[in-house]
Each structure stands twice: as C-alpha cells, then as structure tokens.
Amino acid sequence: MNDNETTAPGESGALVSATQGGVVEQSQAGAVDRFDNPGLPPHVHRLADDDELAAKRAERQVATMFGLSMLGALVFLVAYFVVPDEATFYFPGIGIASTQNVVLGVSLGISILMIGLGAVHWAKTLMPDTEVVEERHLQASSPADRAKAVAAVSKGGEAAQLPRRPLIKYTLGGALGLFALPLGLQVAGSLGPTDVEQLKTTIWDPAYNDGKPIRLMRDPEMTPIKLEDVTNGSVFHVMPETLQKFIDDGKHVLEAKAKAAVILIRLDPELIKVQKARDWGVDGTVAYSKICTHVGCAVGLYEQQTHHLLCPCHQSTFDLTEDCNVIFGPAKRPLPQLKIQVDDAGYLVAPQGFDQPVGPSFWERLR
Amino acid sequence: MTTINENRPAQGLRADDRRDEEVHDSTKPLGGIAGWVDDRVGAAKGVSFLLKKVFPDHWSFMLGEIAMYSMIVCLLTGAFLTFWFVPSQTLVPYDGSYIPLQGIMVSDAYRSTLDISFDIRGGLLIRQIHHWGALIFIVSVFAHMARVFFTGAFRKPREINWVFGTILSMLACIEGFAGYSLPDDLLSGTGIRAMNGFVQSVPVIGSYMSYFIFGGAFPGEAIVPRLYSVHILLIPAILIGLFTAHILLVFVHKHTQYPGPGRTNNNVVGYPLMPVYIAKAGGFFFMVFGVITLISALFTINPIWAYGPYDPSPVTAGSQPDWYMGFADGALRLLPGWLEFVSWGDFTWSMNIFPGSILLLPIMWGIIGAYPFVESWVTGDKREHHLLDRPRNAPTRTAIGVAGITMYLVLFFAAGNDLIAIKLHLSINDITMALRTLFFVGPPIAFWITKRICLSLQRADRQKVLHGRETGTIWRYPDGRFEEIHAPLTPNERWPLVQHEVPEPLQISAQKDENGVDSPIARKERLRAKLSHFYFVDRVGPVTPSELEAAHHAHDEPHAALPAGEHEALESTGAGAERESIKADKRLD
C-alpha cells in the first residue's frame, strides 16, 4: 500500500526535506505550530427560511419561471406551423434574420432555460442550504481485501493449471497476439489504392492530349485564352483543356483540378529577373501552379503593386519577379512554372507538363 | 512527510451538523412501481447511497458540468441531423430554395446540409445548436481542465481521471474537426486539403497515409463518408465510454473541495444530491441547453451557403479553422520554410509542416497528460489530496500553467495573423516575426511574472493574517496623524489563508556515504533534487500561531498603554512592526 518514497529515507544520498522533520515546524512542546481548523461557520438563514411571506414569494417566482417555460413551448408549437419558411426581418444590432429561426429558437430557448432557472431558484431559496458532511476514506482497499484479490487470481490460475501447462500459456499468448493482425491488415490494407506516383503527375502532361500541346482554359468557363486577352497586370485562373473530358465524364473532376490549377499573370517582361521564367512565358505572360507548395491551398491572392502571390491559408508569399521564389512564410519551394506558348490560332498552350510535382512536399517527391 | 490534514480533522464541527448517515424516521415503505422494480433489480441500496452523495459548491465546479451538458446537447441534436444529412460526395445539381446556388453541381453532402438549413423547418436551428454546442463543449472542456490544473485537483488519487480528461479533450477537438468537415463546403474543404498536406508531410509513409485516408487521390469521394462514421460512431463511442468512466471516478473519489472552515482532507462539505444537486445540476443542464438555443436562434454560425461547394481552385481569403484547431494552424504559420530539406537518397523531409501538425497534437496532450506524474515525482508527495490548492499557494505549478497557456495563445493568435494585420493595419511579416519570437520568449516571461504575482499574493495573505484587514475607517490622533484601523481576522476568515502547506525543496542527504564512497542514490536523485529546488525554493509559508502571537507582542510593546484595537492601527508607524513581519517572511526561506 505504501508507495510513498522512491528511496528509503534513511539511506545515504536519499532525498530529504531541508528541515528534517518534514514540512511542519515543531514548537517546543512538540505540538504542531499551526492554526486549528475552526470548524463549519454558523449557518446564515435565508429570508425564506424565517419569513413565510418570502418563502411564498420564492414559490411564486419559481412557478412563474416554469409557467414561462410552458408558454415558450406553446409558442414554438404554434410558430412551427404559422411562421412562413422564407420570412425575414431586421433584428436590431444583429441584422437581417430568418423569422422562423429566431422565433423557433427563442421560444425553444426560453422553454428550456426557464426550467433550469426555476429549478435552480427553487434550490437556492427553498431547499435546505445547511451543509452536510460526508467522511472520506482512503482510496486503497484494505490489506486483507488486497490479499483476497491476489488469492482469487492465483487460485483461479492454479485451478486452470496455468502454471503447470506452459504449452497452453505460450500458445494462448501467441494466438491472442496474432488474431488482431488480420483485422488490422484488412482495414489498413483496403482503405485505398496506393498509386502514390500519381502525386507527381498532372493532366497538363501532353500524354493526356495525344501528345499535342494543351490549351489554357478559363476556370470555370472552360474557354480558351488568346494572348491579347491577357492585359498587363491581369490575372487568369486557368485549367487545362484536358479537364473537359473529366467534366464530360463526370468523374474525378476535383482530383484533376486539385493538381492542375494554374494562375496566369501578365507583367512587364523587364520586371522578370530570371531568364528561365521569361523564356517559359510569352511577352511577360507567365503561368504558375496555383497549388501552394506548403500544404496545397490555392494561392489566389495577387498583389499587383509588389508582384507577390500570397497563399490565403498560411500566408506563404511568392515573388513573381523572382520565378515565384518564397520570400516569406512557411513554404519552402517556389511555385512550379508551366511553360506556355502561342499556338497557330493565337491561343495560349502548354507544350509540356510541369517539370516537377506540384503541391505540397512528400517523402518520395524527388525520387 | 507529516500529513497535517489527515491527523488533524476539523475540531469543532457544528453541534447540529447533518451527517450523511442520518436516517429519517418518517420513511415510507417502498411500494408501487418502485417496489416492483426493486424486487427485480434490488437497486434501493445503491439509489439511496447515490441520492445521499454530498457535493461541494463552487462556481468553478460548473465548468465541467457545462462541458458535460453541451456534449449531451450535441449528442441529441446530432442524432436529429443524421435523419437529413447525406454523407456522400456524389455530385448532384442543387435544386433547393437557396436561389444563388440553384443549378450548380454540388456534392450530396453539401446539398443535404443546404436542405437542412433552408428547406427543413427548424433544421437550421438544430444545425446551429449542434455547432454552437460543439464550440461551447470544447471551450468548457479547456476551462474545466485549467480549473483542475490550477487547483491541483489532478493529484493523487485523481491522476487516472486527469489522463481520461486529457484524452477526452483531444478527442473533442478531433470530433469537432471531423464534424465541421462534413458539409463539404469551400471552407471545410480547404481545411481537409490542408490536412492532406499535413498527412503527406509525415516522413516515409506520408504519401501512403494520404492515399489510405482519402481512398485514393485527394479529394476523392471517400473522405466525407469516412469522416461521417468517425464523427457519429467511432469517436462518440469512445467519448461516451471515457466520459462515463470520468464521471464514475468522480463518484468514487468524491468531489474535491476548496479549503475553508470545517473542510478537511477527510470530509466533503456540501449538499446532498437529493434534492439540492438534482435541482441545481439538473436545472443547470436546462440552463446550458437554453442558452445555447438562444445563441443559435440569434447568431449565425458557419454559413456554408455563403462559402459555396468545395472546389480545389477558388480563392478562400481569410481561411481559418474553428477556434480549437487554431493553435495547430498557427504553428504552421510560424514554422519557417527553411526547415524543409532533402536528405541523402533524395528523400524530402517536410519539417516545416510535420512538427506543427501531425506531431503537435500528441506532443501537447502527452505533456498535459504526464504532468501529474512529473509533479508527484518531483515533490515526492504520495498522499491523497482532496483539498484544492488556491493557485497562489502553488506558485511554480501556477506559473508553469500560465507559461503553457501563453505558448498556446501565441500559436492561437498566429492563426489569425492575417486578420490581425488587416484590422490593425500592421505588416503581416512583422506580426509573424514577433509571434515567432514570443513563442520562445513569452512563456519564460509569463512564468516569472505569474510566480512573482503568486508570491506577492501569498505575502499579502500573510500581512492580512498578521495585521488584520483594512476597515476603511480612518482614525485621527490628537497629534494630527491619520491611520487606518485594521480589524483582526476572525478564525473563520483566517483559516483559508493559513491552512495550506508549503513544502520545502528536497535535498540530497549526503553525496558520499560514511566510507567516503560516492552514493549511487545521490547521483540518481540529483535531477529530482534540482527540480524540487526549482519548484519550492521561493516559498512563503503560512502564518503560524506563534508568528501571529509575536506580531501582536511586537505591537504591544511600544504602545502598551493604548487601548485594545488601536495597536493594530499604529503598526505601520513604528517601523519595527512592519519590518518585523517581512523579516518573518525571510526567515522562512
């Protein structure tokens, strides 16, 4: 029962309190120099304890609250059928509110709240408020009870011949240890396909378009973009032409979009400081993956003055003039650039996919 | 250690105190339906035991009750919502009555949530009660946890219950996250997308975990149905099981109580379950439920119709999770990008994400759950504690708690760095840099300040006991001096200020044994002795009767001729008295 000390107090090197006697200072007489617990303070009577009028008043207050609760419930029952679904009204300080939600909610709230207020008021005014004292006992069982429990367990084990039959003991252990594995394997193994190589590809890969360059399309209209439509400083949210097939099939649209989203921006070519970034664009029109390299939110906030792209989730900031390098925030890698050209019809196309996986980092990203 | 409280029960309980064993004479025999039931289950003994159970009264004990009741509210409204919510990501055209979205292809989950909000009468109310209830549930869980921590209610024999509570609070957060992801709207979808990023950041198995969770490539069509079964089945089952154990242990241990006259470590002073606590606690359930309902009637929460359905490409400025996930989001905003690196073998280590997301939760809750064991190891105190500490009387623990909360708050505010920047017209870069610094600097400062405040409060308590309380009555002396009269405390007023123990730091008794050999125990115990020193080196002991006596004598000597009561007022004029008491403090160190 006594797990009091990690080391026996008498041993050399054991921890002791600074003044050997423990926390309590001893006075000369040997008595503990502490104040005595003065015991429970005298009970202070409430108004309703002594005054029958006050008690009556409390009774009426409690009954009023319970009455209001009934009223609230009745209002709810009526309002449920009476208040039209689309009605709205102006609630001062809150704004335009749905009448139905407010009336139903307030009446239900009052009918519930008043039960609570009534009950608590009842308890506080009329129920006895003299404290009751209950004794505590040590949490641990008595040594005898403990011994009995130990005996029951060991006797049971002996009766089952566990100590004498080690073969049963070990095979049972093995069986219990193994039986959960098939269940665990089933659930973990069948949760999903594991073609994680998919993480490295997008539908900007010309393979999705029979090897031909892929047109840049406005998102969500899915119309192609001419170079001259892209005025200086303008921003286009772009999806590949190949997405249309997914939309038509109605399958895996979001999975495709989740990696293919691209942002197209035109700025003064002189401002672009990196030769590759200029080469992969057309006259200062450049396209970058819109999927943040941090955890994958859509990087959609473009600051025209500073040419910064900002991710709204965790504020990673990418500098468009520096090939979308990270200049602030928790992302590490620049946004991957999509090489674009103008095709014979004058539309913007991507002749090749991204040269690296887009979106957040993952373990096998570079392998 | 001497166990003061156990050896010295309250001496003078009132003569007419009601005892729990009291049996009333006027009991009627059990009959009718109750008798029929008792014939079959024999519950009368247990029921009478339960109904006589005594609970102490304090406002801070209601924090846990709020958590319990708001959880019940969520269970109730959640069951309602399952009747209409469709956990499916199959795309369907929206044809409900919310005009701006009509004709748009949305997932069935989103459509059914819109229907609950617009086409099912009272559905919006139930949905809002569910969401507000969840927010209040989690905030009250944390408030309850803080109360238990700062009053030392986690000490023996309640360590197991603290661990249960720790797990409950973590599950509550996960439950909340799973729940608000279900409507499949743009905001929650962005949260799920971020979660996908977190999962992918796990070294070695991250990509596979992502594919397992989403049933293939993100976002897929599996995540909402899977989160649904997690949200309505798996976690609620564990929550209810652990919560039941949590409450049962409260009954087994009997509730802790604050120190006060008549309250000892060996008793519980309060009101019996029947009728007082049935009315108070039962009534309080209705109050919590009623207030949540009123809030839900008047204040919109999570207007998913305004966000639109989830789509990976649109912009979502000002994206924030529900408040309880804020600290993890904040950690991600503070971790600098350069922590990501590529190792030998071209493996990518996303150390700018992994520690702030997947690791943060188990680390944070692990530390919280382990605290009682660390403290009891350091203090070497293995006694049962049923009397709560006033937070000032455990300065180091209180300071550790405040330092932890400071760290949490830095992360929490970091999750709103964009909003702070916009509202206060500050640079987001400056805010982020400041918060990064504060994460490391803030907790030690908070620790130091809190500890000093606690020690000052303890000294103020000592002053009050030694010299009485200020009456506000100003006394003018014949020679023109003014003094405020101090009234001595009554024993009942004094007791809460002097009842506590202040442990002394443990010391290693000897580095070497009698033969001059280095003691192996001493080597082992060095860390413990250091920590004990850290905890208890600054100690302000409670006033002892002899100190009080000495203080009175010190006053009496120079002013022996003054009538009783006046000497209290004069103490601060004679420099001696005031100094004396401070010296008394010092002597204790």
Angstrom distance (rounded) from CA B537 to CA B506: 10
Angstrom distance (rounded) from CA B70 to CA B134: 7
Question: Closest residue of A to B275, CA-based?
Answer: A127
CA distances from B2 to A23, B82, B373 (A): 7, 57, 21
Q: How does DSSP classify residue B232?
A: I
B17 touches A: beta carbon within 8 Å? yes
A195 — pLDDT class (breaks 50, 70, 90)? confident
pLDDT per residue over B139-174, tens digit each? 999 999 999 999 999 999 999 999 999 999 999 999
Angstrom distance (rounded) from CA B370 to CA B389: 19
Q: How do strand B18-19 and strand A132-135 relate by DSSP bridges?
A: parallel
B352 touches A: beta carbon within 8 Å? yes
B508 — pLDDT class (breaks 50, 70, 90)? confident
Average pLDDT over residues A192-219: 90
Burial class of residue A81 (count of CB atoms within 10 Å of its CB; 0-12, 13-18, 19+)? exposed
pLDDT per residue over A218-238, tens digit each? 988 899 999 989 998 889 999
Q: Check CB contact under 8 Å for A219 and B506.
A: no
| Per-residue pLDDT, A4 | 39
Share of chain A above pLDDT 90, in %: 63
A338 neighbors B176 (Cβ within 8 angstroms): no
pLDDT at A203 over 80: yes
Q: Check CB contact under 8 Å for A37 and B494.
A: no
Sort out which chain A residues have CB atoms less than 8 A from B318's CB and list them.
312
pLDDT at B472 over 50: yes
pLDDT at B190 over 50: yes
B556 — pLDDT class (breaks 50, 70, 90)? low
Angstrom distance (rounded) from CA A281 to CA A351: 11
Residues near B178 by Cβ (< 8 Å), separated by ≥ 6?
A: B227, B230, B231, B235
A259 neighbors A298 (Cβ within 8 angstroms): no
Q: How does DSSP classify residue B179?
A: H
A65 neighbors A121 (Cβ within 8 angstroms): yes
B159 neighbors B372 (Cβ within 8 angstroms): yes
pLDDT at A313 over 80: yes
Tokens of A203: 């539908």
Sequence-ordered strand ranges (E) for B251-291: 267-272
pTM to 2 decimal places: 0.89
Q: How does DSSP classify residue B231?
A: I
Q: Which amino acid is at B220?
A: G
pLDDT per residue over B194-221, tens digit each? 999 999 999 999 999 999 999 999 998 9
Sequence-ordered strand ranges (E) for B108-164: none
- SS3 for A117-171 is HHHHHHHHHCCCCCCEEEECCCCCCCHHHHHHHHHHHHHHHHHCCCCCCHHHHHH
Give the length of chain A. Answer: 367
Q: Check CB contact under 8 Å for B19 and A19.
A: no
What is the DSSP code string of A312-345? Answer: TTT--EEEGGGTTEEEESS--SPPPEE--EE-TT
Domain B62-322 in CATH 1.20.810.10: yes
pLDDT at B557 over 80: no
pLDDT per residue over B418-447, tens digit each? 889 889 999 988 999 999 999 999 999 999
Angstrom distance (rounded) from CA B190 to CA A298: 9
Q: How close does chain B come to A229, measured CA to CA in Å? A: 21
Closest CB to A191 among B215, B272, B338? B215
Average pLDDT of every residue of chain B = 87
Angstrom distance (rounded) from CA B74 to CA A285: 52
CA distances from B413 to B174, B405, B418, B430, B432 (A): 20, 12, 10, 14, 10
Q: How does DSSP classify residue B276?
A: I
A19 — pLDDT class (breaks 50, 70, 90)? low
| Per-residue pLDDT, A29 | 44
| Alpha helices (H) along A160-228 | 166-189
The domain locations on chain B are: 62-322, 461-588
Tokens of A289: 């993956």
CA distances from A11 to A24, A83, B424, B505, B518 (A): 22, 81, 62, 18, 13
Q: How close does chain B come to A89, measured CA to CA in Å? A: 12
Residues near B25 by Cβ (< 8 Å), separated by ≥ 6?
A: none
Phi, psi of A156 (to 5 degrees): -60, -45
| Per-residue pLDDT, B574 | 40
Angstrom distance (rounded) from CA B277 to CA B270: 10
Angstrom distance (rounded) from CA A336 to CA B197: 17
Question: Closest residue of A to B18, CA-based?
Answer: A132
Side by side, the strands of the sheet bearing A317-319 are A301-303, A308-310, A317-319, A325-328
Sort out which chain A residues have CB atoms less than 8 A from B523's CB and list them.
13
Sort out which chain B residues have CB atoms less than 8 A from A196's CB and list them.
207-208, 210-211
Interface of B with A in 65-94 (CB under 8 A): 91
| Alpha helices (H) along chain A | 47-50, 52-82, 99-125, 143-159, 166-189, 243-249, 253-260, 275-279
Average pLDDT over residues B513-538: 82
